[in-house]
Structure 1
Amino acid sequence: MTLTGLLKVAAAAAALWVAAAPVAQADSLDDIKAAKKVRIAVAMGVPLFAFVDDKLQPTGSDVETAKMIAKDLGVELELVQITNAARVPTIQTRKADFLVADLAITDERKKAVDFTIPYATLSIVVAAPAGEAIKDYPDLAGKRIGVTRATVNDTLVTQNAKDADIVRFEDDATLITAAVSGQVDIVSTQAAVVAEMNKNRTEKLETKFVQRELNLGIALPKGETALKTWLDDWIKTHFADGSLNATFKKFHDRDLPPDLVTR
């Protein structure tokens, strides 16, 4: 065999060896502990879950849950404040270690990120003034309805109310402003957001129908097995001792479902 032929064989063998070699897996849990800091993303502007209080400080059930997690990890918390639309991209690009941001566990999202077991729930509803005769999706035909972009709300209305005039807003805060100012009188959102709208609306909105009850999970990058296991165990522990429910009830005035962690 010529020298050129031998070099080709050697190169091919080297390529096969590299392909067969095990790929080093990331271990964010060790990295977090080594850095003594955890970056947790929250979607700000979501009533009850993550919002700014009268002292201009972030608060809400998601924010307080993030603080509890950081404390139990024994590290400093860096709160990464994002919009709803940025939730999955933030985890995919690892701009945060994980995300506690009222993100519903769906099959489509599972293709992009990993989820823990549920840590909370929410109901998605269609709400409108009392005079609107709306009982289901077909009744939205030709009607103007506001949704927050890149949410399950957006997906459900898009799929089931194809003849509706759908107006998409970048976050819940903008949707609330639009509903209060009269830009939209029909919305697809969660009950807590509707309550926030009604604080400043003359013509109150009422729930017309419940679209879906959603399980919310902590989202993290694909393949972070150790971190996911730690977070799953953390949720089970704090659900069992009542502290997770207490934090949720403080803001939402309701208990978490008794079967939450087995869903």
Structure 2
Amino acid sequence: MSVALPTVDAMDVILVPGLWLDAASWDAVLPALREAGHRVHPLTMPGVGEPASEIGIADWVAAVASRVDEFDAPVALVGHSGGGNVVWGATDARPDRIARVVFVDSVPPAPGRGISEFEVVDGVVPFPGWDHFPDEDVYDLDDATRARTAPLALSVPARVPTDPIDLTDPRRFTVPVTLLMGGLDQASFEKAISEWGPYAEEFGAIEDTEVVKLGTGHWPQFSKPDVLAQEIVAALDR
């Protein structure tokens, strides 16, 4: 059942998927964003689903920065999971061109940190399967959703998850940030991140932040796309 969303000032919104996902992973979210008046641009990142290559996180950041350069007005960036590293890197690269960054169950990475480590097979990182993830991440993906989405997951270049993110421009801290967290509200997130060392320092340096609890697992674009779309629209309207 769709949720009626308010119409807000139109904005170009670049949607960056997490690991193993492509532009199609946003398909269930796009109609509601368009209904709200936004121009949406879901991306497939370089090297996804392709043979082994030397593509790294810097290439993903550069791909998003290049898309940002195509628009006259500042844009919004939305990054899911590991895509959060990418959109924050692009914000660092184009701080005066970003109106807001929305992290979907992700956080702004600290300088020099990677996404995570996964098994490399033949020079790429294949999707490890839904059973690889803890229950808190996948509890709201029913059997039908898992069966439908697992075949759509694609390999990513081996370096992308582990390459350190390069962040050098302090102007990134002036860009408003919204965190749409699956299971954490503002208070619980602030308690959790206080124990994450440099991640706490990075988040604490951002001038304008908010945390919204979605009440979902790690993949709300599959489990509750209407809720995710509603909260993205709300964030863009702030």
Using the size of structure 2 for normalisation, the TM-score is 0.35
Higher strand share: 1
Q: Which protein is bigger by CA-based radius of gyration?
A: 1
Using the size of structure 1 for normalisation, the TM-score is 0.32
Higher helix share: 1
